[in-house]
Amino acid sequence: MTAAPGATPTIVLIGHGMVGQRFLEALAERGLTATHRVVVLCEEPRPAYDRVQLTSYFSGKTPEDLSMTDMAFIERHGIELHVGDPALTIDRASRTVTARSGLAVDYDVLVLATGSYPFVPPVPGKDSAGCFVYRTIEDLLAIEEYARSRATTGAVVGGGLLGLEAAGALKGLGLATHIVEFAPRLMPVQVDAGGGAALLRTIEEMGLTVHTGTGTQEIVADDSGAVTGMKLSDGSEVATDMVVFSAGVRPRDQLARDCGLSVGERGGITVDEQCRTVADPHVFAIGECAQAADGRVYGLVAPGYEQAETVAATIAAEESSFTGADLSTKLKLLGVDVASFGDAHGAAADCLDVVYSDSRSGLYKKLVIGRDGTLLGGILVGDADAYGTLRAFTGTVPPVSPESLVLPAGAEGGAQLGPSALPDEAVICSCHNVTKGTIRGAVTEHSCTTVPEVKKCTKAGTGCGSCVKVLGQLVTAELEASGVEVDKGLCGCFAQTREELYEIVLALRINSYQALLDRYGREGARGGDGCEVCKPAVASIIASLASTIGASGYVLEGEQASIQDSNDHFLANLQKNGSYSVVPRIPGGEITPEKLIVIGEIARDFGLYTKITGGQRIDMFGARVEQLPLIWTRLVDAGFESGHAYGKALRTVKSCVGQTWCRYGVQDSVRMAIDLELRYRGLRSPHKLKSAVSGCARECAEAQSKDFGVIATANGWNLYVGGNGGATPRHADLLAQDLTDAELIRLIDRFLMFYIRTADRLERTSVWLDRIPGGLDHIRDVVVHDSLGICEELDALMAAHVDNYRDEWATTINDPEKLARFVSFVNAPDTPDPVVGFVPERDQIKPDLPLLSIGMRPEALEGSAQR
């Protein structure tokens, strides 16, 4: 643009949020940072960060993790970034911006990217202590602090997208949480009444209290000015210690108003299709502070990114315009998938709905279809897996009937429409506007061979992340199509899968890792030291086949010791400060008072932090490596053995109290749990194995969330397989019914051995079951009907395991050579690791983290007790 000849033209950006940062990247990509001076005024105390992922702060992301600003990028491009220095005034006549620090900058181009502020309804008491908004990292830090120190109940005003996120955060902080929404349903903008109902049910089941169709009338505070409750428009009162307002956002357009730029009726700096302000050709506005040419203020990041690109292109004198954007969103709110895309509310004339609704499982899916069969939009609640594909099909007539697309997978008539059916123009990543064609190009022309490479090359998948699944499918399909052999090998050392290596080890009776690597490893890996991926995987295969292939059944014997994962090598779980946790086996969760006392005494004598685990046993934390043998000597003496909490092996078989005591029980679930736990203890497998036995259909042991779960019936036992808790929960499938004890055990034997034989490394039974061709039916054929003729072998393998089991801790404490490894320092066996220190917490100990960050123990660090 114009500038005095000779002088470098200056671009000033006000606001360094997500859109502002994207604008800087767009400038750099076009070489404009080289030809222009770029000055950025950033109000917040930190440069741009990922606001979309803000809530992940509560699941462990640090503010640094959320940062979107690479300081090397800023420096490389000579961008003058002023953090913590907001713009105060704009003088359009002299084209000068003045910041709070007094800094005044003359501009040739001014770009406003000031975002929005949270709207706080003008109710009495809204400024009381304990009232918050939810927009910035600083807001979250303040909420966390208040919740931790003085709140047990929290309320969120607003049940929209952000309100639900805020509610999830409060719940995560341990507060009893209320949501107050003025509209008759949750997420009124994104979902319709049916979707709102499904969402409501699921959210109430999680224990949140929802008040819809009612407004907040007053915030009640005590004498000190701190929130104690709120009055609602339906006359009721909710007691609460804190309130988070999430009642929508308003564009931050005050700067623009002050300098005479025009704004829309409901706020938002009015701009044309180039995002240039209507009043002043030198000034642009992008992101949430702008009212676009289509009259809308967009509250999502993807349209803001497009606007940022448009302005950078316009400055570079390229043709570009922003005429409007799609409001598709996919979110996981409180663990529930919610997605809406296209014309979700069926605003188009004459359109028709296809609805699938299953309130029992909290599913609601609606597609909006035009008269001619064109997919116009839709809403998915509870299961949004199809979102990526459906969104990309919007505007076209999908190749299969719309009805089949909303039916759940597995239901009669349900169709799975893969991304391969999509046209090249279909937008896969809407955050970065990347089409299927571009992604295919990344593979075929830019020779990307992995999803991370494609992400880097195209930016697809680096925004909200909702397209990553489809992206992965496309990359694999494209690689396969272009004849590139997709490398299914275990790691850089082996071209075989885990399953293939298992077959090799079993068939050729190979019982040494080095022999396997040198004979069957990839060319370049032979003779080398392997890697951290294949070593434990092969260690596990050797351990589960030990007696059959002539290897020692003791994981610390000979070469096996050197290939075990670190935890298996120390037979304990490493904690963040280098200390260990100790988990003795408590089969079925049944324990005598004497044994409980022994555990208590040991924990007391060694000063260990003690906790009941989620797996019906007791974990003792904070043991230093040289204490492990001492602790285990006492445990073994008292009749305990390793609980394998450190191993990819059988963990626990949980039980309910069952028939013995419970008035409903129909079988002795405790006895069966103990039998199963003792039978499969020590069994090494591709991933951990968990089990449970319930005494009746009430299922108090949660058997259906286990790898193999057993539920008593009047006639025997039902066996369920493939259940999982964790991050991607899955209910187990019924494999067989009304089994006798012997039938049950035989089926589990075979099921486990077949899993160990064919699963990938770190593949739980749930994932394995969904992956292997034929799924549950195939497994039933193999283990019940012996369709592969391998049952005899599976039975023999399990019998060998059961016969040869020995407790590895008992073996270790009797082996002086192995014990010598349990020291902090090889040259000072009696000296404890000085960075393992502890501080008190709730009458017990916890790791001394400041000590860890220093890395060395300064003399007599205050408050940290070393034991």
Ligand X SMILES: Cc1cc2nc3c(=O)[nH]c(=O)nc-3n(C[C@H](O)[C@H](O)[C@H](O)COP(=O)(O)OP(=O)(O)OC[C@H]3O[C@@H](n4cnc5c(N)ncnc54)[C@H](O)[C@@H]3O)c2cc1C
Binding site for ligand FES (CB under 6 A): 429-431, 460-467
Among 214, 450, 573, 787, contact with ligand SRM (rule: CB under 6 A): 573
The one of ligand SRM, ligand X, ligand FES, none whose footprint includes residue 613, by CB under 5 to 8 A per kind, is ligand SRM
Burial of 820 (0-12, 13-18, 19+ CB in 10 A): exposed
Nearer to another protein, 531 or 734 (CB): 531
DSSP string computed for 556-604? TSHHHHHHS-HHHHHTSEE-TTS-EEE-B--GGG---HHHHHHHHHHHH
Q: Which of residues 578-597 bind another protein (CB under 8 A)?
A: 578
What is the DSSP code (8-state) at residue 621? E
The one of ligand SF4, another protein, ligand SRM, none whose footprint includes residue 725, by CB under 5 to 8 A per kind, is ligand SRM
Q: Which of residues 205-264 bind ligand SF4 (CB under 6 A)?
A: none
**How far from the centroid of its chain's Cα atoms is residue 586's Cα?**
31
Q: How far is the CB of 688 from ligand SRM (least distance, A)?
A: 6
Nearer to ligand SRM, 565 or 741 (CB): 565
Q: How far is the CB of 723 from ligand SRM (least distance, A)?
A: 7
Ramachandran angles phi, psi of 386, nearest 5° = -80, 0
**CA atoms of 39 and 620, how far apart (whole Å):** 55
- Residues near ligand X (CB under 6 A), total: 37
**Quick check: 396 binds ligand SRM (CB under 6 A)?**
no
Q: Sort strands 708-713 and 716-721 into parallel, antiparallel or unpaired.
A: antiparallel
Nearer to ligand X, 433 or 659 (CB): 433
Single-letter code of the amino acid located at 722: G
- Residues near another protein (CB under 8 A), total: 42
**Quick check: 627 binds another protein (CB under 8 A)?**
no
Among 115, 346, 588, 847, contact with ligand X (rule: CB under 6 A): 115
Contact 382, 364 (CB under 8 A): yes
Nearest CA-CA partner of 866 in 843, 841, 842, 840: 840
The one of ligand FES, another protein, ligand SRM, none whose footprint includes residue 127, by CB under 5 to 8 A per kind, is none
Applying CB under 6 A, the span of 44-52, 295-303, 357-365, 614-622 interacting with ligand SRM comes to 614-622
Mask for 118-147, x = binds ligand X (CB under 6 A): ----------------xx------------
Nearer to ligand SRM, 116 or 540 (CB): 540
Burial of 299 (0-12, 13-18, 19+ CB in 10 A): buried
The one of ligand SF4, ligand FES, another protein, none whose footprint includes residue 289, by CB under 5 to 8 A per kind, is none
The one of ligand SRM, ligand SF4, another protein, none whose footprint includes residue 436, by CB under 5 to 8 A per kind, is none
Among 25, 165, 253, 478, contact with ligand X (rule: CB under 6 A): 165
Handedness of CA 11, 16, 19, 22 (dihedral sign): positive
Contact 650, 801 (CB under 8 A): no
The one of ligand SRM, ligand SF4, another protein, none whose footprint includes residue 449, by CB under 5 to 8 A per kind, is none
End-to-end CA distance of the chain: 69
Contact 118, 157 (CB under 8 A): no
The residues facing 131 across adjacent strands are 243
Q: Which of residues 479-498 bind another protein (CB under 8 A)?
A: 492-493
Among 37, 185, 455, 617, contact with ligand SRM (rule: CB under 6 A): 617
Burial of 637 (0-12, 13-18, 19+ CB in 10 A): exposed
Nearer to ligand SF4, 627 or 704 (CB): 704
**CA atoms of 799 and 791, how far apart (whole Å):** 12
The residues facing 734 across adjacent strands are 720
Nearer to another protein, 6 or 524 (CB): 524
The one of another protein, ligand X, ligand SRM, none whose footprint includes residue 367, by CB under 5 to 8 A per kind, is none
**Quick check: 613 binds ligand SRM (CB under 6 A)?**
yes
Strand order in the sheet with 237-239: 216-221, 227-232, 237-239
Q: How far is the CB of 62 from ligand SRM (least distance, A)?
A: 19
Single-letter code of the amino acid located at 789: G
The one of ligand X, ligand FES, another protein, none whose footprint includes residue 856, by CB under 5 to 8 A per kind, is another protein
Nearest CA-CA partner of 133 in 250, 225, 217: 250
List of long-range contacts for 829-837, beta carbons under 8 Å, 24+ apart = 829/626, 830/626, 832/624, 832/626, 832/866, 833/578, 833/624, 833/625, 834/866, 835/577, 835/578, 836/577, 836/578, 836/579, 836/624, 836/866, 837/577, 837/861, 837/864, 837/865, 837/866
Nearest CA-CA partner of 162 in 372, 358, 329, 387: 329
- Residues near ligand SRM (CB under 6 A), total: 20
Mask for 663-692, x = binds ligand SF4 (CB under 6 A): -xx---x-----------------------
On the CB side of 333, CA atoms within 13 Å amount to 27
Strand order in the sheet with 618-623: 573-574, 580-582, 618-623, 609-612
Q: Which of residues 647-706 bind ligand SRM (CB under 6 A)?
A: 651-652, 688, 690
Among 37, 535, 624, 681, contact with another protein (rule: CB under 8 A): 535
Single-letter code of the amino acid located at 514: Q
The one of ligand SF4, ligand X, another protein, none whose footprint includes residue 536, by CB under 5 to 8 A per kind, is another protein
The one of ligand SRM, another protein, ligand X, none whose footprint includes residue 531, by CB under 5 to 8 A per kind, is another protein
The one of another protein, ligand FES, ligand SF4, none whose footprint includes residue 465, by CB under 5 to 8 A per kind, is ligand FES
**CA atoms of 408 and 402, how far apart (whole Å):** 12
Q: Enter the tokens of residue 313.
A: 């292109």
**CA atoms of 67 and 47, how far apart (whole Å):** 7
Q: How far is the CB of 116 from ligand FES (least distance, A)?
A: 20
Q: Sort strands 209-212 and 283-285 into parallel, antiparallel or unpaired.
A: unpaired
The one of ligand FES, ligand X, ligand SF4, none whose footprint includes residue 716, by CB under 5 to 8 A per kind, is none
Mask for 431-470, x = binds another protein (CB under 8 A): ----------------------------------------
Among 175, 645, 693, 744, contact with ligand SRM (rule: CB under 6 A): 645
**CA atoms of 208 and 174, how far apart (whole Å):** 11
Q: Which of residues 837-866 bind another protein (CB under 8 A)?
A: 849, 852-853, 855-857
**CA atoms of 533 and 565, how far apart (whole Å):** 9
Mask for 700-729, x = binds ligand SF4 (CB under 6 A): x-----------------------------
Among 76, 611, 698, 771, contact with ligand SF4 (rule: CB under 6 A): 698
**Quick check: 17 binds ligand SRM (CB under 6 A)?**
no
Handedness of CA 27, 28, 30, 34 (dihedral sign): positive
Binding site for ligand SF4 (CB under 6 A): 656-658, 662, 664-665, 669, 694-696, 698-700
Binding site for ligand SRM (CB under 6 A): 573, 575, 581, 583, 611, 613-615, 617, 619, 645, 651-652, 688, 690, 724-727, 764
Binding site for ligand X (CB under 6 A): 14-20, 41-44, 51-52, 54-55, 86-87, 113-116, 134-135, 162, 165, 252, 255, 287-288, 299-302, 304, 329, 331, 464
Binding site for another protein (CB under 8 A): 492-493, 514, 524-525, 528-532, 535-536, 561-563, 565-567, 569-570, 574, 576-578, 820-821, 824-828, 831, 833-836, 849, 852-853, 855-857
